[in-house]
Amino acid sequence: MSAPKKLFIKTYGCQMNVYDSERMAEALGGQGYETTDRADDADMILLNTCHIREKAAEKVYSELGRFRALKDEKPDLKIGVAGCVAQAEGAEIIKRQPMVDLVVGPQSYHRLPELEAKTQTGAKALDTDFPEEDKFEHLAARPKAKRGPTAFLTVQEGCDKFCAFCVVPYTRGAEVSRPAARVMGEARDLVERGVREITLLGQNVNAYHGHDGGLSGLIRELAGIDGLERIRFTTSHPNDMDDDLIAAHGEVDKLMPYLHLPVQSGSDKVLKAMNRKHTAAHYLRLIERIRAARPDLLLSGDFIVGFPGETEADFQDTLDLVEAVGYGQAYSFKYSARPGTPAAERETVSGDVADERLQRLQALLSKQQRAAQDAMVGREVDVLFEKAGRMDGQMVGKSDHLHAVFVTSDAVKRGDLARVRIVESASNSLSGEVVGPAR
């Protein structure tokens, strides 16, 4: 029996890419590959790319350049590019970096086995189609190996919103929802293999329509799975937070009190230019309704500063919205043009101005995040422990509110859900003492 081939996958970007990388590894498992965490040990290197951040394509080409010497040493080494940069760049990747053997878009990775087989003949393999078939239906069944206590589960892909700054509709395609029966089957399989928390993923996850009751209907059905203790979902659009999904936050105990709901700007003028199709007032009213349903909700968001046409007054509107909401966590970025998007053709804000605004926004968001963490000291929270910490006897897990929590205790192990009293707040984590089993 031949020795297994080694697959090294480097994943960029969002949680959906993490999920996709897992499925890619599983798809290539049937071709005799097992994963390795060392690129120099690999028979195939696969870069699963993201196109959201600034100069994403150039960063991929730079990364590929670092593998050139390795390819020279190992001529049989196969190198592939997957994900959203692969979708956007296509054959240009092979043209610019001839050492690349395989390019596959995010909707076609179920075809990886046949593409890999093609590379073994010495040919280049390219597939950036948007196939009609459901890639999830064509993927092999997931292996029955034991899993960690948390898992991502993609339920929806693509986006129909066409925000002026975003490439997702062009790289991931139109909104598609997986049938609820298949999602439920995969969820049950994950739980049988040790998963206690599932995060439902989608570019616009609350637009999910694969269940008669939408995303809230799927969440309510998932909550009936014995052994599944926690449910989360990300990323959401404000325009798709319907009444029943709001109600589910107060009615489904297993749905965690954490919500990532990007707004991007507090200025109605900028929101209109972004094609967000909601106003700041609409967003604030929505937050009031969600918090009425779940008062202990921790809110997370995304912000873009320096969007084309943003004035100081517009930016002040963003600061005012942040003050009004009070975020427990948030992500903020300076606008960078994505080729092919409407905003890319507009006059940009000065880089120095955008940098200064980003620093002010991040200072405010950091202050709010620290205040949310400090408020946890003295409280008891449930923590799902995921791994050992750096110190002997230390374990780290996530609270209901997604805070990282460290404890030093022999009473818990990986996969345990325990009650912890928070005793200290650090810059990006909490420390606590185990007081008993989870409630």
Q: Which of 11, 56, 15 is nearest to 333 (CA)?
A: 56
Within-domain flag for 64: yes
**pLDDT tens, residue by residue, 107-139:** 888 889 899 999 999 999 998 876 655 656 656
Within-domain flag for 139: no
**pLDDT tens, residue by residue, 218-229:** 999 999 999 999
The answer to whether 402 and 426 have CB atoms below 8 angstroms apart is: no
189/242 same-domain check: yes
**pLDDT tens, residue by residue, 135-160:** 566 566 656 667 899 999 999 988 99
The answer to whether 8 and 36 have CB atoms below 8 angstroms apart is: yes
Dist. CA 381–CA 400, nearest whole Å: 7
Dist. CA 140–CA 208, nearest whole Å: 23
Read off the DSSP letter of residue 295.
T
First to last CA, the chain: 50
Within-domain flag for 390: yes
Dist. CA 187–CA 166, nearest whole Å: 30
Within-domain flag for 262: no
What predicted TM-score, i.e. pTM, was given to this entire model?
A: 0.84
In the block, residue with structure tokens 């049989």: 76
421/348 same-domain check: no
Which range of residues forms the domain containing residue 250? Answer: 144-256
Dist. CA 106–CA 399, nearest whole Å: 32
Q: How many domains does the chain have?
A: 4
Q: Which of 94, 127, 160 is the last residue of a domain?
A: 127
The mean pLDDT of the chain is: 92
Whether the CA torsion 41, 45, 48, 49 is positive or negative: it is positive
The answer to whether 100 and 79 have CB atoms below 8 angstroms apart is: yes
